[in-house]
DNA sequence: TTGTAAGCGTTATCAC
DNA sequence: GTGATAACGCTTACAA
């Protein structure tokens, strides 16, 4: 910058003003400065700016696992939205490890991100961790906009994005009951993950309201991956009265369940219907195409980014909440009960 | 930092030395400084450090599309490796758009990343773009370690990671021929992507060497997504002599092809065998489980990160190249020709 | 072993 | 309309 100023015989302040589009510089000077900037391929130094107190244009994104296909979609929503406003993404993969999360918190603080999108919804138990809560509060105090995905904390100065899935879940329950399914098994999400436990409760309520409550014995512990689907299907098919339909914790678990069922000689959907959750890209192309509940994942990412680059709430601010609706999608993995 | 120094009656240099583990500070002083650091929850300001000339611990990762399941695996390899050395990831999704790529280059420069991993192998044509080449050269000059995935450029001061797939491709060709397939169709990767064009050539060479060259008419233009697989399979099955086996550009295209074939009443693998490429996580769990060529994607990511945080090559340095082998994986999407 | 001072690139404040 | 200068938080040479 000094070099540019010197070569033009103007002061650095003049150059700075031109770069930042500040008023009070003659058109002629602006032109000359810009010309030299182009010629020298000058790029402003973000570090120096930040040091001077300007907010960065960086948003940190914390997710548990980029290889779970839910998250690339979410991240893509974030990124596409970020590009428009010149923001960029600092990606943090916790791998479900609290230690990693805490390390990333330090890193984010050190790097002075403007916003923080925290998708630990599926690992909601962390949000009751006092240390995590303290750090989140501190981010708010430090003027970084925190956005939670899938978990609302009204007592914290953070925003949130989330999904209303009650209606879609009711649709799904009605769909299964109308197809004649009476013994429905559930491969449940892991314990302690608030949102998804709530999802489980909503399923149970939906079936109960329709008049066909789910048998507690037909709910097996599960997780959000393929292996959990395999194990869950195996466990359910060993029950004395086998289910005619299985609701998996998510699409991944549904795929696992289907592949286990097929391997054991059952036909999906003729012998057993399988229902997923998320509607990841593969659900459409899987054989059989998966009946599932579609989350507006991409849009959730977009909404999260908008909240993350909004002016910070401050220490005692009250978060905004954006809620989008999930929708039931019937495909070929569900059919009339045998 | 000044605050800590003042509260202890020492100088900032002392605090700095303690923070950076520099020698020459008495154990007692170190202890006292550390105590206050913990109490005040002091985090060093990365911006100020970088401004002072210290390299950042940030590695930019440029990929075409995070929703293509090849890339999360690659990114995970990068991230897991990065964590060990305290580096963090700046994610850049070009969405196959050259304009976005160039914007990201500016951003990366402005943010002073220490390294840059550029996975535009599947969009190799950019690498013959003069502007891109110039920018890459400039990164090298600016002491950022550039690593290309899947594309070697010996004339540029950049490193690269890549895959040797000749052997795996020969294995795959032998596999198909031994199963009795004589009419093999190929859904080819898009034009202009050097690595993958080479892959196509390797397939042709392999079949020719075994004595069953592939008919040019059986090669249809394709791409790396599900839709291309659908369209490719449709085009191939319309040929006068229909193929008994289809080699798709990648796993995604293979899934598309299988779903199109199934929808058209063909059984995979009984009527048509399908071969993929990449071995993404879904290949295992798909119905039928996909026969494919496994890329060491995760390991490629790890290797790329190690190169990216290695000392920069400098303007006239000569890049290192890490090559890993692909392997043929036979599953259930291929069977004896009908 | 510890302190002092200069400087990294930028922007804000004030003076001209 | 433009220029000089201080300050942001840190590291490093050098002095004590």
pLDDT digits (tens, 9 = 90+) for B192-241: 666 778 899 999 999 999 999 999 999 999 988 899 999 999 999 999 99
For residue A125, what pLDDT is reported?
67
For residue B124, what pLDDT is reported?
56
Residue A6 CB neighbours (<10 A): 12
With a cut of 70, say whether residue B278 has pLDDT above it: yes
User: Per residue, what are the HEC states of B194-253?
Assistant: HHHHHHHHHHHHHHHHHCCCCCHHHEEECCCCHHHHHHHHHHHHCCCCCCCEEECCCHHH
Q: For residue A125, what are the β-bridge partners?
A: none
- Please name each of the domains of chain B with its CATH number: 2-43 (1.10.260.40), 58-163+297-324 (3.40.50.2300), 166-294 (3.40.50.2300)
For residue B245, what pLDDT is reported?
98
Question: Which helix (H) or strand (E) element contains residue B258?
Answer: helix B251-263
User: Are the CB atoms for A67 and A57 separated by under 8 Å?
Assistant: no
Residue in A closest to B42 by C-alpha:
A110
Which B positions 68-127 lie with beta carbon below 8 A of chain A? 69, 71-73, 75-76, 79-80, 83, 88-93, 95, 100, 103-104, 106-107, 109-112
A111: nearest Cα among A50, A45, A64, A66: A50
Q: Which residues contact A295 (CB under 8 A, 6 or more apart)?
A: A70, A163, A165, A277, A278, A279, A326
Task: Note the residue count of chain A.
Answer: 338
Q: Which residues contact A235 (CB under 8 A, 6 or more apart)?
A: A220
Q: pLDDT tens per residue, chain A (338 residues)?
A: 888 888 888 888 899 999 988 888 888 888 999 999 999 888 888 899 998 888 999 999 999 999 989 999 999 999 999 998 889 999 999 988 888 999 999 999 999 999 999 997 545 566 668 888 899 999 999 999 999 998 888 888 999 999 999 999 999 999 999 999 999 999 998 886 767 788 999 999 999 999 999 999 999 999 988 999 999 999 999 999 999 999 999 999 999 999 999 999 999 999 999 999 999 988 988 889 999 999 999 999 999 999 999 998 877 888 999 999 999 999 999 999 99
Q: Which residue, among B58, B61, B66, B270, would best test binding to A if mutated, counting the most A CBs under 10 Å from its CB?
A: B66
- Give chain B's radius of gyration (CA, Å): 25
Task: Tell whether B46 is within 8 A of chain A (Cβ).
Answer: yes
Mean pLDDT for chain B overall: 92
Question: Which helix (H) or strand (E) element contains residue A293?
Answer: strand A292-294
Question: Which helix (H) or strand (E) element contains residue B149?
Answer: strand B145-149
B24 CB less than 7 Å from any atom of strand C: yes
Highest mean pLDDT among A320-334, B54-68, B105-119: A320-334
For residue B324, what pLDDT is reported?
97
Q: In strand D, which positions have an atom below 7 A from any protein CB?
A: 1-5, 7-13
A111 DSSP 8-state letter: T
Question: What burial class does residue B128 get, using C-beta atoms within 10 Å of its C-beta: 0-12 exposed, 13-18 middle, 19+ buried?
Answer: exposed
Q: Rounded distance, CA A254 to CA A199, Å? A: 16
Subunit contact B75:A69, Cβ cutoff 8 A: no
How far are the Cα atoms of A192, A200, A228 from residue A216, in angstroms, in the given order? Answer: 18, 12, 19
Q: Which residues contact B138 (CB under 8 A, 6 or more apart)?
A: A41, B109
A110 CB less than 7 Å from any atom of strand D: no
Task: Tell whether B137 is within 8 A of chain A (Cβ).
Answer: no
With a cut of 90, say whether residue B2 has pLDDT above it: no
Residue in A closest to B59 by C-alpha:
A90
Q: Which of B66, B258, B287 sits opposite A75 (nearest CB)?
A: B66
Nearest CA to the C1' of C9 belongs to which residue?
A: A48
Q: Rounded distance, CA A309 to CA A273, Å? A: 43
Rounded mean pLDDT, B72-85: 95
Q: Rounded distance, CA A187 to CA A162, Å? A: 22
pTM, entire model: 0.92
Q: Which of B69, B79, B281 sits opposite A93 (nearest CB)?
A: B79
pLDDT band at B313 (very low <50, low <70, confident <90, very high): confident
A336 CB less than 7 Å from any atom of strand D: no
């Amino acid at each position: 910058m000094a070099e540019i100023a010197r070569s033009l015989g103007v002061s650095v302040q003049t150059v700075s003003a031109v770069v930042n589009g500040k008023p009070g510089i003659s058109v002629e000077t602006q032109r000359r400065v810009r010309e030299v900037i182009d010629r020298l391929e000058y790029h402003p130094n973000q570090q120096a700016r930040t040091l001077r107190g300007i907010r960065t244009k960086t948003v940190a994104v914390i997710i548990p696992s980029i290889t779970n296909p839910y998250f690339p979609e979410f991240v893509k929503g974030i990124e596409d939205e970020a590009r428009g406003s010149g923001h960029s993404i600092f990606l943090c993969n916790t791998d479900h490890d609290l230690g990693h999360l805490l390390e990333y918190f330090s890193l984010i603080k050190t790097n002075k991100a403007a916003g923080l999108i925290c998708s630990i919804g599926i690992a909601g138990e962390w949000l009751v961790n006092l240390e995590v809560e303290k750090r989140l509060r501190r981010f708010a105090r430090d003027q970084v906009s925190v956005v939670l995905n899938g978990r609302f904390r009204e007592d914290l100065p953070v925003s949130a994005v989330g999904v209303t899935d009650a209606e879609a879940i009711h649709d799904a329950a009605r769909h299964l009951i109308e197809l004649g399914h009476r013994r429905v098994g559930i491969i449940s999400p892991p314990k302690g993950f608030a949102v998804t436990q709530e999802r489980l409760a909503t399923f149970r309520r939906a079936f109960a309201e329709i008049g066909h409550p789910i048998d507690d014995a037909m709910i097996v512990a599960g997780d959000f991956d393929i292996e959990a689907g395999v194990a869950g299907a195996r466990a359910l098919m060993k029950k004395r009265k086998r289910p005619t339909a299985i609701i998996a914790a998510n699409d991944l678990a549904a795929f696992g369940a289907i592949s286990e069922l097929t391997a054991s000689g059952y036909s999906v959907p003729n012998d057993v219907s399988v229902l997923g959750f998320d509607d990841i890209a593969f659900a459409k192309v899987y054989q059989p195409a998966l009946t599932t509940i579609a989350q507006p994942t991409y849009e959730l990412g977009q909404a999260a980014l908008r909240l993350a680059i909004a002016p910070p709430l401050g220490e005692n601010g009250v978060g905004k909440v954006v809620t989008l609706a999930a929708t039931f999608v019937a495909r070929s993995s569900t059919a009339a009960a045998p």
